[in-house]
Structure 1
């Protein structure tokens, strides 16, 4: 019998993933990571719901205290990033360093099981010619989470199953009702677990970063107003700047050294290219020459055509066919060829154009 450890957050997606594999004849073990205290799917309420699902399915349930790992890789990472004037993306880092890596290690070392599964909407296929596992978008493009999974390793892909990758979200809900799961009608999480826990990203950051007022300036350095902390701003932001102007103003830069927020019109917030660091080539070997691809620079942004130029030091330059709005340091730039995730990395800085 095939054995699999299913990561259970207490939400409907992971519940259906576990129930589906159970019905397919897998020997399923539930595993929940205790990431932090407070409300939210991944915390106390989620652990209770996950335990209930395991009881419903008649499968074992393990809880692993991952709070120190989460604090180091996510909380400290976020805080230091916002203090430096960037907008970090925690989810891809969390998937690789907090979830998939530790879950796979726990499954193998503690339970003697070689496979894990999660409720992510993505797909994995093995490409025999290159002898590599490939990460693909989900069938349901409205729920596709491959953008957050670009940083997974070949070993992690080889040991992972995504039971929901071929399903539409409506089918997942239907299966949850069909299986009579407790989580069938549970509302979908809309925010990061940190936001759910603290009420807002601002509230979370204010807990860790002391507010320090400074100047809001234009591209020429003229003082237009005051801010109460650079961590409250992100590139491309329009609302909440608090400055009246003849034309809409956007945040186009954050200077942590000078404690300044720089604003300009939409053209100033549009970039022709950017550099990307901490690159992980997930589905293909690292290219040695420029390639063509499409790039997604935010989760909800469309993938746009780019020329990818490999650089030394695990970096690359992206040259957009058309200049892009709100290319934000700290966010991920993920490369695709059709549905295949080629790789991705963290945007280092936009290049002025």
Structure 2
């Protein structure tokens, strides 16, 4: 089927961001179809809210149960990472492997060239090399480019982010109010979409039938300080809820799956200038092209981009920062930027 550049398939969650994105796309003359992907498989409330928004906006609506893919790819990885002492980011796994994969599939089915979401970021098209890149949003506090670094050209080249130029979330809500959107005052979604805000990840994993055995808290020299309750309960930088009193503030500085130990130390022990990543992907070129290049890099979603030099070392990237970075956490991502656009990233290994 030939794809129509006037048609767009929009990820429609039922929230104010995606609803406002639909409104903006319609104003630009696009024929918009809303797509709700149900990660739980039984989220009737979420489906009905999204369908109601689609009806109010007068756009077509597609519902899909993606719980099988989501469970195997995202939740499976989430549990496995915590059991091995790493701290995953489910959105980073979901975006390329579930959300945008299904968006592209259904866009092709309905003949829509473009796909869109309510993410706060932009797309940059480099006319010199013809490549497309994820670009940071105008509103840096809301910028979500970090979560999208694993998307390839086949996705990014067809992406529209209608909210990328907005200066604040208030601007989004104000536009929704002006157009009497029924979800203009709806609260923002929770951090981990498949875990209730009143719950916590460790209890979720335990209810799924998994556990990790108790072991030793140690200091950086290997001296035993006490007993921990299983490595899945801890993450790098954690200070609260350790269950041990040392007479001074203590932070988790390392988790060793093989030895089943959790290392505790001072806040200063969390700072490093070198971060190593694996399973790296680059948006347009191979890692070798960027070898020795100075870039900006983020070691977590909320971090500010910081200057670093990257070195390609086989399957690894070694990023050396000008300023020490706090609590670079195995399992989380390091994302590389050239100016304000994403060039690649990988999973932090050490």
TM-score by length of 1: 0.92
Displacement of 1:31 in angstroms is 0.6
Gapped runs of 5+ residues in structure 1?
none
- Residue equivalent to 2:14: 10
Measure, in 1, the Cα distance between the counterparts of 2:284 and 2:189: 29
How big is each residue's C-alpha offset from its partner over 1:203-239, in whole Å with a ceiling of 9 and x where there is no partner? 2222232252222121222222222221110011111
CA contact (8 A) 2:41 2:66 kept: no
Structure 1 residue 198: Cα displacement = 6.9
Gaps of 5+ in 2: none
The superposition leaves residues 257-313 of structure 1 with CA deviations (integer Å, 9 ceiling, x where unpaired) of 232211111232222212111112125553433100111001111111111001223
- 1:31 is matched with 35
In the alignment, what sits opposite 2:25? Answer: 21
| Equivalent in the alignment of 1:225 | 226
1:155-187 Cα shifts (integer Å, max 9, x gaps): 100111101011121111111111211110001
Q: Distance in 2 between matches of 1:148 and 1:343?
A: 11
Tell whether the 8 Å contact from 1:5 to 1:116 is kept in structure 2 after alignment: yes
* SS of residue paired to 1:346: strand
Q: Measure, in 2, the Cα distance between the counterparts of 1:88 and 1:100.
A: 19
Q: Is the 8 A contact 1:121 1:162 kept in 2?
A: yes
1:236 aligns to what? 237
- The answer to whether the Cα contact below 8 Å between 2:298 and 2:306 also exists between their aligned partners in 1 is yes
Q: Is the 8 A contact 2:7 2:111 kept in 1?
A: no
- Residues 301-316 of structure 1 mapped to structure 2, 5 A cutoff: 301-313=303-315, 315-316=316-317
Deviation at 1:193, TM superposition (A): 0.4
Inter-partner Cα distance in structure 2 for 1:167 and 1:324: 29
Offset, 1:197: 6.7
Between the aligned partners of 1:125 and 1:31, the Cα distance in structure 2 is 24
Distance across 2 between alignment mates of 1:308 and 1:4 = 37
C-alpha deviation, 1:195, in angstroms: 2.7
How big is each residue's C-alpha offset from its partner over 1:82-101, in whole Å with a ceiling of 9 and x where there is no partner?
11111111111111111112
Runs (4+) of structure 1 moved beyond 3 Å?
283-288
Correspondence for 2:91: 91
Aligned residues: 343
Give the equivalent residue in structure 2 for 1:80: 80
